[in-house]
């Protein structure tokens, strides 16, 4: 691992360090020991350290790894602009884990957009996966379950334009300050500042432009392998969404998310779907870390017995 220093385009992370992958520095932070290792795949606009509270809990019983995809978070920029294919992201993760000498198989914890990357990883490296924890993950059949207003194409169109970033910043600063309120100060303030920076906001918007292409890419491959899966559905509403969408549309999205998660777990021999009330999609790992840790523990235990 290289030294924990800033590049011209990325600030230095408050903890963790870097692993060189394909000539670029990829941010990674690991805690704990023992396998199967648990690997977190962030959502769009999220970074590995957003899952720090859950990582700490998991590190009490297994190796827990958070990282930032190339071009996002604290990792180095990419030579080509975002978005990337799920295959490129999955290959990078595979190389990162092996360069870190983290032995397979892994339990993948996929949040939001990370669901697409987790599914592609299982398609490319099925023997490397011991289990999945699905946190409101993006699925290739998203459009079959969600209302038209939340389709991948509609979501891409609703992504904020670069000129809207300045208008969003005060509300986003307030949101991240609240989400990260319980984090240690040496993590909290740097994460808040970075999350509302022009660069991190642009990256989050860019990744959301890939949803249609990601769904097409995933449909060309097989279903997830027959490994233990626990899917969590956040059944509350994030404050920003509540203000921006009518109640009827929110209810339709929640119903679609529940049905999609139930379909995901129905494809494996051991699958369980759990509803997490009174917490929004973006709030899940910040507000209910214990619930997420328990889901991970259950998948790890099942995978170990298998």
How far apart, in Å, do the first and last CA atoms of the chain sit? 33
Given a cut of 70, is residue 163 above it in pLDDT? no
DSSP for the chain, written as a single string: -B-----SSSPPPSS-EEEEETTEEEEEEEE---SSEEEEE--TT--GGGGHHHHHHHTTTS-EEEE--TTSTTSPPPSSPSP--HHHHHHHHHHHHHHTT-PSPEEEEEETTHHHHHHHHHHH-GGGEEEEEEES---TTHHHHS-GGGSHHHHHHHSPPGGGHHHHHHHHHHHHHHHTTTS-HHHHHHHHHHHTSHHHHHHHHHHGGGHHHHHHHHHTSPPPPS--EEEEEE-S--HHHHHHS-HHHHHHHHHHHHHHHHHHHTTSSSEEEEEETT--TTTHHHH-HHHHHHHHHHHHHHHHH-
Q: Are 217 and 120 in contact (CB under 8 A)?
A: yes
The answer for residues whose C-beta is within 8 angstroms of residue 49's C-beta and 6 or more apart is 13, 14, 15, 16, 29, 66, 73, 187, 191
Report the percent of the chain where pLDDT is more than 90.
Answer: 68
Domain boundaries, the chain: 17-305
Higher pLDDT, 271 or 149: 271
Q: What is the pLDDT of residue 49?
A: 97
pTM of the complete model: 0.92
Radius of gyration of the chain (CA): 18
Q: What is the pLDDT of residue 1?
A: 52
Given a cut of 60, is residue 63 above it in pLDDT? yes
Going by C-alpha positions, the residue among 89, 121, 100 that lies closest to residue 37 is: 100
Mind listing the pLDDT tens digit for each residue in 170-222? 888 999 999 999 999 999 999 999 999 988 988 988 888 888 899 999 999 99
Q: What is the pLDDT of residue 210?
A: 81
- List the single range of 24-38, 137-151, 253-267 with lowest mean pLDDT: 137-151
Compute the half-sphere exposure of residue 146: CA atoms within 13 Å on the CB side of its CA.
21
Q: Are 49 and 117 in contact (CB under 8 A)?
A: no
Taking phi over 0 as left and psi of -120 to 50 as alpha, with beta for the rest, 14 belongs to: alpha
Report the topology of domain 17-305: Rossmann fold (3.40.50)
Mind listing the pLDDT tens digit for each residue in 231-242? 999 988 877 654
Going by C-alpha positions, the residue among 207, 209, 196 that lies closest to residue 165 is: 196
Token pair, residue 140, equals 């290739």
Mind listing the pLDDT tens digit for each residue in 242-300? 455 677 878 888 898 999 999 999 999 999 999 999 999 999 999 999 999 999 999 99
Q: Are 113 and 138 in contact (CB under 8 A)?
A: yes
Top-confidence range, 123-127, 135-139, 259-263: 123-127
Given a cut of 70, is residue 143 above it in pLDDT? yes
Higher pLDDT, 280 or 82: 280
- List the single range of 10-14, 68-72, 106-110 with lowest mean pLDDT: 10-14
Q: Are 93 and 123 in contact (CB under 8 A)?
A: no
Q: What is the pLDDT of residue 6?
A: 41
pLDDT band at 3 (very low <50, low <70, confident <90, very high): very low
pLDDT band at 2 (very low <50, low <70, confident <90, very high): very low
């Amino acid at each position: 691992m290289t030294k924990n220093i800033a590049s011209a385009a990325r600030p230095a992370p408050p903890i963790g360090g870097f692993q060189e992958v394909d000539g670029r520095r990829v941010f990674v932070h690991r805690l704990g020991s023992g396998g199967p290792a648990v690997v977190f795949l962030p959502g769009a606009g999220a970074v590995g350290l957003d899952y720090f509270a859950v990582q700490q809990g998991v590190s009490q019983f297994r190796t827990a790894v958070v990282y930032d995809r190339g071009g996002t978070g604290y990792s180095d920029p990419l030579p080509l602009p975002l978005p990337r294919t799920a295959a490129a992201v999955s290959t990078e993760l595979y190389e990162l884990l092996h360069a870190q000498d983290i032995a397979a198989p892994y339990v993948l914890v996929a949040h939001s957009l990370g669901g697409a990357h987790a599914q592609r990883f299982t398609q490319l490296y099925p023997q490397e996966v011991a289990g999945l924890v699905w946190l409101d993950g993006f699925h290739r059949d998203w459009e079959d379950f969600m209302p038209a207003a939340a389709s991948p194409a509609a979501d891409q169109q609703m992504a904020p334009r670069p000129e809207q970033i300045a208008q969003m910043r005060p509300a986003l600063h307030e949101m991240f300050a609240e989400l990260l309120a319980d984090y240690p100060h040496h993590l909290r303030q740097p994460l808040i500042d970075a999350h509302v920076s022009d660069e991190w906001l642009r990256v989050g918007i860019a990744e959301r432009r890939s949803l249609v292409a990601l769904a097409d890419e995933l449909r060309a491959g097989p279903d997830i392998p027959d490994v233990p899966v626990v899917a969590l559905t956040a059944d509350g509403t994030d404050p920003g969404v509540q203000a921006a969408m009518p109640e009827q549309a929110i209810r339709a999205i929640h119903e679609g998310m529940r049905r999609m998660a139930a379909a995901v777990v129905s494809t494996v021999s051991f699958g369980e779907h759990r509803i997490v009330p009174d917490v929004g999609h973006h709030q899940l790992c910040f507000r209910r870390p214990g619930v997420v840790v328990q889901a991970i523990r259950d998948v790890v235990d099942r995978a170990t017995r298998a």
